[in-house]
Structure 1
């Protein structure tokens, strides 16, 4: 592990060094061997002190192992940091650990810090020794916690000055704290019955890519459903039978913006989407997720393709956990435009967050393609999912 290293000198050291040099001059003038010996001894000790400060920590290492652990709120966990010293011994140093505030250390006193949790430990390690530092914590709130920095403050042998070591990079141990769901009213009533690829015992829609069989023609059958080859074989008209199918696909689109800032309902919106993700998992409903957080790549925002099952749910929860007020947002209308042109279309589109007139126009275009629109909004301590009728909203505003 590489460190940023710098030394902090004590002003007393400069004064003592200057005094020792003056004593050497005085000892030569008065021809005193005792004073000369004492002054040289002081300079030697001070030189050893400075040599120690420059060399200590040069061979201090720890294993930056990549680990990811997942927690629910109030779960217990810990970070394990293994330190190995191949250089000079370190005595009575102060170790500071900085990490995200979605976890809280247990049994440690927190230092005041606006953006990160900070704890201090006393640390000593001898040459060619390995030590483990255990940092127990409790999951506090949704988010991804990581140790941002280790800082060693190593005092000199005489107590004059110190050497400071700061880790150059974040530690690779991650603690993912899943979001907590909140109730969403209206969710159970919004199952889709639109056309799609999933088999259904009864549906208005059929898979026209290939018939599953034939039956005798009846007068109410459409003429274009006649299977001419089968009819020729059996010498009577045969009607093609297609598999009944339905679609359960959802697209959940979250707008985290409110003008030029992040919406104040971010946490409740994310908790509502968490509840919807659990509901979709239990009812085997495939869904995709779009969030207008700017990312690099061919898709310029957070996008999870349609999926279902436990792995998809875990990916969704981790994605939601990663959202923070520090994220840079993409204009929501730009995300909707990209979705309509490039991404897989879903028959049910669920909007969450702030809507403007430009947003409504784009949502109306999605509705005109045959999709069904729903709106997720926050009411006190729960979410409310309702069908979105933009035409009705406009008429109400005009009245």
Structure 2
């Protein structure tokens, strides 16, 4: 059973007393053969039977739809929570209260909300018609980045037979989550940041050719390589013909985020700086997705999995951007930090070609020295913040190095 029905202690005590009294008076009426008493006792038995039957109806006939659902939104956006109840009984549930708890990542609108330490408790008037479905749409607004679930679901209804209040607690796991994406914060100076190296991204101005892709065929010139001659076309045209290959280059981004607190940060500033770094990362992912540029993400917040830190493999396009947003939303607000130098070692092992690498966050002298010894990276940049804005700078000029 998905609902646990909790009765008022006084109601349960009175029902037990009524049942005991009925048994005693019934025996007494049979012994003395008092027919009038037996008729009255029959009415009380019917009342008790209806009470027990209604208790069972409340537990078995009320269904809350529990399909796997994820509501996704950005900070500041508005949407609605959807709840669907089905009452399969012939009796309505009237003048009730629907309650649940949800995280502070969202703000419930137009309904009573009780602010708690970790979550907020929401209470909504509810009436469910007999033999039918009822939908409730609850408006909300995304307040801060994160993922939250709906918990502690319960319904409170007056008992139709004895008018006592009955609380019904939903015992199953409610498979509904709300994902709030970080708000993108602009990073200036991100144009013309890519390392020119061989790759698979088509570019009109690349010095590299894709030898496997022939764009067209033209007449041979003295500056063409001998290997570019198309002999089949030459035989057909009776003059030398040259293959024109697609121009390609590597335009992929590697985003490396260090969430370890930089020396000098105040404790109260740490969560705010984490949110800023993730918001800058969101903007860079958004830019890359719009430009069709492949990108990957490495964030040194601990998680369960193969890499033990938050990692998104290289991909491109809107679907990959959506995966990036979900990854960024799921980073804890106060994460356990994976050693940044260990993550840099993993990044180095995976970066087999020249890439454009962007670092967010400061690093220690040891981490900076480790990077200085690496030759697998292409052009390196760092996101540096000036008061209320951030800009992309060359790594050697902009990186913040602090003592360990």
Superposition TM-score tier, normalisation by shorter sequence? 0.7 to 0.9
Give 1:48 shift: 4.9
CA RMSD of aligned residues (A): 4.4
Gaps of 5+ in 2: 235-241
Partners of 1:333 and 1:158 in 2: CA distance: 68
- The answer as to whether partners of 1:226 and 1:240 remain within 8 angstroms in 2 is no
Partners of 2:212 and 2:20 in 1: CA distance: 99
The answer on 1:134 being equivalent to 2:133 is: no
Quote the residue 2:310 is aligned against: 302
Local SS of the residue matching 2:249: strand
Change (3 A) 1:326 1:127: farther
Partners of 1:120 and 1:276 in 2: CA distance: 40
The answer on 1:312 being equivalent to 2:311 is: no
Query: Could you tell me which of 97, 115, 119 is aligned with 1:94?
Result: 97
TM-score (norm 2): 0.74
Local SS of the residue matching 2:333: coil
Partners of 2:281 and 2:243 in 1: CA distance: 42
Quote the residue 1:371 is aligned against: 378
Partners of 2:72 and 2:14 in 1: CA distance: 55
The answer on 1:10 being equivalent to 2:13 is: no
Partners of 2:43 and 2:213 in 1: CA distance: 100
| Residues 281-307 of structure 1, C-alpha deviations (whole Å, 9 max, x = no match) | 344432211223444444443322323
- The answer as to whether partners of 1:99 and 1:117 remain within 8 angstroms in 2 is yes
Quote the residue 1:222 is aligned against: none
Local SS of the residue matching 1:265: helix
Quote the residue 2:258 is aligned against: 255
Quote the residue 2:222 is aligned against: 216
- The answer as to whether partners of 1:53 and 1:163 remain within 8 angstroms in 2 is no
The answer on 1:380 being equivalent to 2:387 is: yes
- The answer as to whether partners of 1:57 and 1:165 remain within 8 angstroms in 2 is no
Give aligned pairs, total: 378
Give 1:354 shift: 4.1
The answer on 1:337 being equivalent to 2:345 is: yes
- The answer as to whether partners of 1:78 and 1:134 remain within 8 angstroms in 2 is yes
Query: Could you tell me which of 266, 270, 279 is aligned with 1:271?
Result: 279
- The answer as to whether partners of 1:149 and 1:171 remain within 8 angstroms in 2 is no
- The answer as to whether partners of 2:341 and 2:367 remain within 8 angstroms in 1 is yes
Gaps of 5+ in 1: 219-224, 234-238
Partners of 1:208 and 1:175 in 2: CA distance: 45
Deviates more, 1:40-49 or 1:101-110: 40-49
- The answer as to whether partners of 2:195 and 2:378 remain within 8 angstroms in 1 is no
Change (3 A) 1:273 1:63: same
Change (3 A) 1:280 1:130: closer
- The answer as to whether partners of 1:53 and 1:162 remain within 8 angstroms in 2 is no
- The answer as to whether partners of 2:384 and 2:399 remain within 8 angstroms in 1 is no
Quote the residue 1:170 is aligned against: 174
Change (3 A) 1:127 1:72: same
Give 1:325 shift: 1.6
Local SS of the residue matching 1:349: strand
Query: Could you tell me which of 59, 81, 86 is aligned with 1:79?
Result: 81
Quote the residue 1:115 is aligned against: 118
Quote the residue 2:300 is aligned against: 292
Local SS of the residue matching 2:200: strand
Partners of 2:397 and 2:345 in 1: CA distance: 18
| Residues 341-398 of structure 1, C-alpha deviations (whole Å, 9 max, x = no match) | 24665521111124234432443344x224232222433322232222299988x98x
Partners of 1:393 and 1:143 in 2: CA distance: 27
Give 1:268 shift: 0.9
Give 1:95 shift: 1.0
The answer on 1:62 being equivalent to 2:70 is: no
| Residues 194-253 of structure 1, C-alpha deviations (whole Å, 9 max, x = no match) | 4433344445x53485797975379xxxxxx875999xx9xxxxx999865433221001
- The answer as to whether partners of 2:96 and 2:156 remain within 8 angstroms in 1 is yes
Local SS of the residue matching 1:14: helix
Change (3 A) 1:43 1:380: farther
